[in-house]
Amino acid sequence: MERIVNVHRDRINIVKSILQRIRRLGVTVTIEENSFTLSGEALQVIQAESIIKSIGRGFPPQDAFDLLEDENTVAIITLPKNESVMKRLKSRIIGKEGRARKNLERLTDTKIRVFGKTVSMIGTYENVDNANEAIEKLINGANHKNVYALLEKKKSQKRDYL
């Protein structure tokens, strides 16, 4: 299997710094300017692609390598292209001094990055789904307080279930 992953020029050197670890997965990596061509067995290529995409979306390598665990996934939300709308939405998701993003991470047990025109989340499938729902609600104008209350309720229900 072969995949091509494009990475923002600001993140190229970070991806290059972890290529040896990617190659240890059994993946062949070829570099051309802002893109990486990955080839090898399907599962390993998909894992390498997810790791590189995550680093390209602003995650540090140690967070991206969490994707090697079977229960973890990454989700990426693309924000609207209109510059003023995108700036407003990023502000809602990040919050003053990063508080909204930190609250979302805490309430969903995920890692969240806002980079370029995207919002990305790493965590378990269920937790990423909850974070994705919360971020979509914020994008659609929901009040932070209501979103946090929803996440608290979900977290409480999960604790009660366990």
The CATH H-level superfamily of 72-161 is K Homology domain, type 1 (3.30.1370.10)
Which tens digit of pLDDT belongs to each residue from 30-54? Answer: 999 889 999 999 999 999 999 999 9
Q: Which of 126, 133, 122, 128 is nearest to 157 (CA)?
A: 126
pLDDT above 70 for 161: no
Q: Mean of the pLDDT values across residues 139-162?
A: 87
All residues at 6 or more sequence positions from 105 whose CB lies less than 8 Å from its CB, including other chains: 111, 112, 131
CATH class of 2-59: alpha beta
Contact 98, 150 (CB under 8 A): no
pLDDT attached to residue 162? 57
pLDDT above 80 for 159: no
pLDDT above 70 for 144: yes
pLDDT attached to residue 119? 98
Which pair of tokens denotes residue 138?
């914020």
Domain segments of the chain as ranges: 2-59, 72-161
Confidence of residue 160 (pLDDT cuts 50, 70, 90): low
Q: Mean of the pLDDT values across residues 14-32?
A: 94
Q: Mean of the pLDDT values across residues 116-140?
A: 97
Q: Mean of the pLDDT values across residues 12-39?
A: 94
What distance in Å separates the CA atoms of residue 144 and residue 55, rounded to the nearest whole number?
28
Same fold, 2-59 and 72-161: yes
Q: Mean of the pLDDT values across residues 131-139?
A: 97
pLDDT above 70 for 55: yes
Which tens digit of pLDDT belongs to each residue from 64-121? Answer: 999 999 999 999 999 999 999 999 999 999 999 999 999 999 999 999 999 999 999 9
